[in-house]
Structure 1
């Protein structure tokens, strides 16, 4: 990466650094925008970091651990939430039927429709491409980060503590976490956590 950038800078001669940055952003496309949005949300760093891991395909799923020899052949690599498919990143965070219902509830909460993305990267590319007002965007950017982290936390509770996953509870929990971080950290947010959870449509209409 550094070698590529240095070649670009040299080829552009004395053009300003901002010109190089704009060229590089155009060359890289959505990747830079996704990374920027992940790290600039008002969620805790642990959520941001997990979002980055999911985006880059570095989450330690059972499939991954089996491939690198951490899990032997006798250990199940099926999704611990549905037990119907191998636990890949895309499956456990998106395609698991139980998880997908939660995603659908969240998208419907925003009054939107979509089709299931193939990967987490596809999900985030779509997410950053939605056109919204400035403060709506701040709230919208919280949704995938909080959801990805919450699903993985639920998965770990099942794997390590044997706690049965409650997906109805997960919907309410994700909405409440989104509302809490928006209320606590977005400057000018005049609505309560309850307002955001229950009356999101009305809140969005009033956001600038």
Structure 2
């Protein structure tokens, strides 16, 4: 081995032993080996002695396209609405999970064999029905009161919705202009997100659900 000194090859010497850990020469020796290996690989590729292959390119767009392709055309259009908005990413992800039926409600946790107890499956708002997805956000008496106050605030008539797709479709029908569609949809997102946060506060912090408080939070987040 020889070392280039000012562009000229120095005297050759034999490599007989390694160097200690943390030796300042270690990074330079690594670069020498890496450069040599890269040169050998390029030479082998040019001589067609070595052919690489691709196992696929993962991107968020490819994952999104795959997820859209798993559902129907209507599901795809619905899922696109999760991301075509200026809402925070964590809210968009939660809405996406809502449309996919992946929200960790008590019923969903029980189906995954998470032990909650027989009485702990009840909705934290009404305490009389099992907490499943559509009940928590739309058909529970507390949730219906939230939607009623929300649409009263917007000076709109309320329509009882039984699931997320029906509720968002009704909400989107009332936007005024195309340019106002995203801010208008964010209002609906804020209701869903606020109901979920208040549900968690009632379960984990023992806070009592309050219509006036949740409406103030919805207006603030909107």
Q: CA deviation at 1:75?
A: 4.9
The 3 A distance-change label for structure 1 pair 109 and 72 is closer
166, 174, 183: which one pairs with 1:139? Answer: 183
Q: 1:33 matched to which residue of 2?
A: 77
Q: 2:205 matched to which residue of 1?
A: 161
Say which is worse superposed, 146-155 or 66-75, in terms of deviation: 66-75
Q: Please list the CA deviations of residues 38-91 of structure 1 after superposition, one character each: whole Å capped at 9, or x if unmatched.
A: 212111101111111111111111111112210254452000112021101111
**Aligned positions, number:** 154
CA contact 2:122–2:130 (8 Å) conserved in 1: yes
More helix as a share of residues: 1
Secondary structure of 2:120's aligned partner: coil
CA distance in structure 1 between the aligned counterparts of 2:102 and 2:194, rounded to whole angstroms: 17
CA distance in structure 2 between the aligned counterparts of 1:43 and 1:99, rounded to whole angstroms: 22
CA contact 2:191–2:218 (8 Å) conserved in 1: yes
> Which consecutive unaligned segments of at least 5 residues does structure 1 have?
1-23, 179-208
Q: Between the two structures, name the one with larger relative contact order (CA 8 Å, sep ≥ 6).
A: 1
Q: 2:115 matched to which residue of 1?
A: 71
Q: CA deviation at 1:29?
A: 4.7
130, 134, 146: which one pairs with 1:86? Answer: 130
Q: CA RMSD in A?
A: 2.3
CA distance in structure 1 between the aligned counterparts of 2:115 and 2:148, rounded to whole angstroms: 32
Q: TM-score, normalised by structure 1?
A: 0.67
Say which is worse superposed, 40-49 or 63-72, in terms of deviation: 63-72
Say which is worse superposed, 137-146 or 82-91, in terms of deviation: 137-146
| Aligned: 1:52 with 2:96 | yes
Greater C-alpha Rg: 2
CA distance in structure 1 between the aligned counterparts of 2:116 and 2:192, rounded to whole angstroms: 27
CA contact 2:99–2:164 (8 Å) conserved in 1: yes
| Aligned: 1:112 with 2:152 | no
CA distance in structure 1 between the aligned counterparts of 2:140 and 2:214, rounded to whole angstroms: 14
- After TM superposition, list the pairs within 5 Å mapping 1:10-29 onto structure 2: 28-29=72-73
Q: CA deviation at 1:123?
A: 1.4
